[in-house]
Amino acid sequence: MADDDSIEESCDSVRRKGWAIASMTVGDADDNAFPAIVAGCRAGDRGAQRHLYDMFHRQIYRLMVRVVGADEAPDLTQQVFLHVLRNIEKFSGRGRFDRWLYRVAMNEAYQHLRRRRRHTHRPLAYEPSDPAASANQTLDQKDLTEQALARLEPELRSIFLLREIEGLSYRDIAHALDIPEGTVGSRLNRARRELKKHLINLGWEP
């Protein structure tokens, strides 16, 4: 459908404008070097821990910004890596490390949101206090999409981000969020529908 194509164009525009910073995964690291890094982390080697952090912290920080907001993303990112390093033995080494890392990150994010009992979503960039004013503002596609994403429920926003921005497969998202693959598809479709609704409310014209 034409409207669905417009939403896809909006997502593509976001990716082209720099949201999807290239992120390193286990597959990008040397096949022999990465197990040694994990082993060093298990042994408490500070150099290995720093290497692991440097490899993955940008993609986790970027995700946290869009799930919990920019103000709390730095602290939560640090909390994610503290949890990872304290529980590194739980990573079996048989699967992809980034899948396990995303699962830890999203668990931390959801626990954080539950603790704060948030019923509204923090803006990713800014969100006008007067909804009527937003339609009259001149915003580029990225600004509109940021605001619309900020209005999605955290569970829907995280699935959309993991799929459209991080490029994870349905299987990887299911593993990261501990939900069935079919649920990933249904929630992703719902996220796209609600994103379209919020975009229109913000003044976007298909």
More confident residue, 200 or 116: 200
User: What is the C-alpha separation between 148 and 141, in angstroms, rounded?
Assistant: 11
pLDDT digits (tens, 9 = 90+) for 110-168: 888 877 654 444 444 444 444 444 444 444 677 788 888 888 888 898 899 899 888 88
Which range of 83-97, 105-119, 129-143, 181-195 scores highest in mean pLDDT? It is 181-195
Range with lowest mean pLDDT among 7-21, 80-94, 109-123, 171-185:
7-21
181-199 average pLDDT score: 93
Query: What pLDDT is attached to residue 112?
Result: 87
Q: Is the dihedral of CA 166, 171, 52, 57 positive or negative?
A: positive
Q: Which fold would CATH assign to domain 2-19+26-201?
A: Rna Polymerase Sigma Factor; Chain: A (1.10.1740)
Q: Is the pLDDT of residue 21 over 70?
A: no
pLDDT digits (tens, 9 = 90+) for 34-86: 889 999 999 999 999 999 999 999 999 999 988 888 899 999 999 999 999 99
Confidence of residue 175 (pLDDT cuts 50, 70, 90): confident
Query: What pLDDT is attached to residue 206?
Result: 65
Q: Is the pLDDT of residue 88 over 90?
A: yes
Domain definitions of the chain by residue range: 2-19+26-201
Confidence of residue 9 (pLDDT cuts 50, 70, 90): low
Q: Confirm if 69 and 61 have CB atoms less than 8 A apart.
A: no
Determine if residue 93 is left, alpha or beta; phi over 0 gives left, psi from -120 to 50 gives alpha, anything else beta. Answer: left
Q: Is the pLDDT of residue 17 over 90?
A: no
Q: Is the pLDDT of residue 204 over 90?
A: no
Query: What pLDDT is attached to residue 67?
Result: 86
Overall pTM surpassing 0.75 (yes/no): no
Q: Is the pLDDT of residue 205 over 90?
A: no
